[in-house]
Amino acid sequence: MSDFFLVAGGTGGHVFPALALMRALQKRSRSVRMITDSRAQKYCAGMTCDILAAKAVLGRGIVQKFFALLALGLGYFQAHLLLWRHRPKAVIGFGGYAALPMLLAAQHQGRRTIVHEQNAVMGRVNRLLARKAELVALSFADTQKCPSGVRRLHVGNPASGAVTLPVDRSSTGKDFRLLVLGGSLGAKVFDTVIVEAMRLLPEETRARIVLVQQTVEVDPNVLQQAYQELSVRAECLKFITEAARKMPEMSMIITRAGGGITAEVSNAALPALYVPLPIAADQHQYYNARYYADAGGAEVLPQAGLSAEVLAEKIQFYVHNPDRLVAMSCAMQECAMPNALETLTNYVDEKL
């Protein structure tokens, strides 16, 4: 018998908060099973993880939809077997298509369920399941498309970690430390536009920049050589482990606007230039970014209008306006929810 099932779709934005809750519950001697789809195996290395059949249905052709529905049907059958075998006290879902068959089966068996939403616009799977869930845990207080009448709790994103004190961003003449991340799905546009923006900057501005950049398709060594030719101090990596630990050292970040990364950035009180993923469902990344921009901690740069010229102008401004960075940092810290994991863990552990 397991105390809890945690189920999430296979992308980092869904899986990371589930894994954070799993570790927190295990520290309290709770028995937890992680359930996801095949895409998440790279995140679950070294742990027991049940894989459900699940595929996205929307945005596909007729044949693909047919096979996706078959996969979800198989996943629903697999979910019933797992529930009968392990008899969990409750099932907590973090969105994504893998969550659909498991939470649907759990609700049909009369088991207690919770859904957690990471974004400012509730995902389709969570919208479908929310009405029969005991609780809808939200990362954003005013989450759009959340069904009316459901019991809500604003907890934040449990994968985001705690607030760490930011470096002093008020002094002129200091290095401008810029972090560039693509998110779990990457952002190959950054591989080209960042270096071209650096090329357009005055030499005295480039001399003050220290860059840490995640690359997607370009060889990190090739990209680093390009920066070296521009006299930009840069570290280029295919993947940046524990990126959140680097954030307090940074002056600013350029990144996508998934729910996980925006929460981490806010908790680090780090000013941001957000480039929302244009194909994100319901434009949720745009609304994630808009939340922090409206609070004064970020700017939103739509990818359609992103050019080297636009980016160079933004970087030039922030390098030479540290007071603006201080104001943005304070705004980000006002938005932070450092106790998200503790809040959600306490509810699951004590109320279920």
CB atoms within 10 A of CB 256: 25
For residue range 189-247, list pLDDT tens digits in order.
898 999 999 999 999 999 999 999 998 778 999 999 999 999 999 999 988 877 888 89
- Number of residues in the chain: 352
- Residue 173's pLDDT is 64
- Residue 86's pLDDT is 96
Question: Which residue matches tokens 């306490």?
Answer: 346
User: Is 70 exceeded by the pLDDT of residue 52?
Assistant: yes
- Residue 184's pLDDT is 56
Domain 4-160+338-351: CATH architecture, name and number where available: 3-Layer(aba) Sandwich (3.40)
User: Is 60 exceeded by the pLDDT of residue 163?
Assistant: no
The residue extents of the domains of the chain are: 4-160+338-351, 176-335
Mean pLDDT of the chain: 90
Say what the pTM is. 0.91
SS3 for 60? coil
Instruction: Give the mean model confidence (pLDDT) for residues 261-267.
Output: 94
Please indicate whether residue 64 or residue 335 has the higher confidence score (pLDDT): 335
- Residue 74's pLDDT is 87
Question: Which residue matches tokens 């044949």?
Answer: 63
Q: Please tell me the class of the 176-335 domain.
A: alpha beta
Q: Is there a common fold for 4-160+338-351 and 176-335?
A: yes
